[in-house]
A and B are shown apart, each in its own frame.
Chain A
């Protein structure tokens, strides 16, 4: 078994010691553990983010396998615990906080208070809007990194990161909508997830520009 010190040192060797210390002392919340959130959780685990708050009410479905970080034996299990078991194989020494609950305007603040950054990774647009309105109007210092538009098979080059509203970073093409009949496909969803994880990483290192 790799020890905590060995793993930290290996991450620090790749990332830099000061950077690794910052990551280790950071807390990121992920709202929704689907195509975006499950992939983002893997990237943040590989970075060695000290505390991850992972929230999703749902169970793994067979239709998630095309793009979400689950395997066939996860089907029917809560996404929180299924994902947790994958993440601890990458890094068992991080602090993972799991909540199998539906996020609402009533519980969002208490779920995510204490996070440096909150990652919005829902799939329904009204839920995205609800979460962002609730958190940004209540938690004045928090930054939100949100996914918006990654459906279909248009070029990945349309997916970008913007900062249109104070403390709100948006990743996506801003247009492609599953309600227009577009499917969600692994590579393009992962590009959006990578944009979000990259912006989270930059914000943790006090790089606030997109």
Chain B
């Protein structure tokens, strides 16, 4: 299985969006995730299991403003 995350191919991952975030050491409450062109609500992070060809963009937010 090959998925694209922030422009880079991942071949050694299977799981849902929450598990992908964990693998990347990102906190689920500090990210915006686009899955195949659609923004995801946080409630869906557990429900969506990645499949071959999926494209994911993750923006991780830091504090300050």
Contacts and interface: CB of A to CB of B under 8 A. Distances in A.
B63 A165 contact: no
B43 to A, nearest CB: 9
Contact of A175 (B37, B57, B59, B62): B62
A172 B60 CA distance: 12
A122 B61 CA distance: 11
A125 B57 contact: no
B32 A123 contact: no
Interface string B22-42: 000000011110100101111
Query: Which of B40, B59, B63 has the most chain A CB within a 10 Å cutoff?
Result: B63
A123 B64 contact: yes
Interface stretch (A18-26, A74-82, A132-140, A199-207): A132-140
B62 A133 contact: no
B37 A166 contact: yes
Contacts, number: 92
A147 B65 contact: yes
Interface residues of B, number: 19
A122 B32 contact: no
A53 interface: no
B59 A168 contact: yes
Interface in A32-60: 32, 34-37
B62 A149 contact: yes
A151 interface: yes
A166 B34 contact: yes
A149 B64 contact: yes
B37 to A, nearest CB: 6
Nearest first, the 3 closest Cβ-Cβ pairs linking A and B are A123-B65, A125-B61, A177-B62
28 contacts: A122-B65, A123-B65, A128-B61, A129-B29, A129-B32, A130-B29, A132-B32, A132-B39, A133-B40, A133-B42, A134-B41, A136-B39, A147-B64, A151-B63, A151-B64, A164-B6, A164-B59, A165-B32, A165-B34, A165-B59, A168-B34, A168-B59, A176-B62, A179-B62, A179-B63, A182-B64, A184-B65, A189-B65
Interface of B: 6, 29-32, 34, 37, 39-42, 57, 59-65
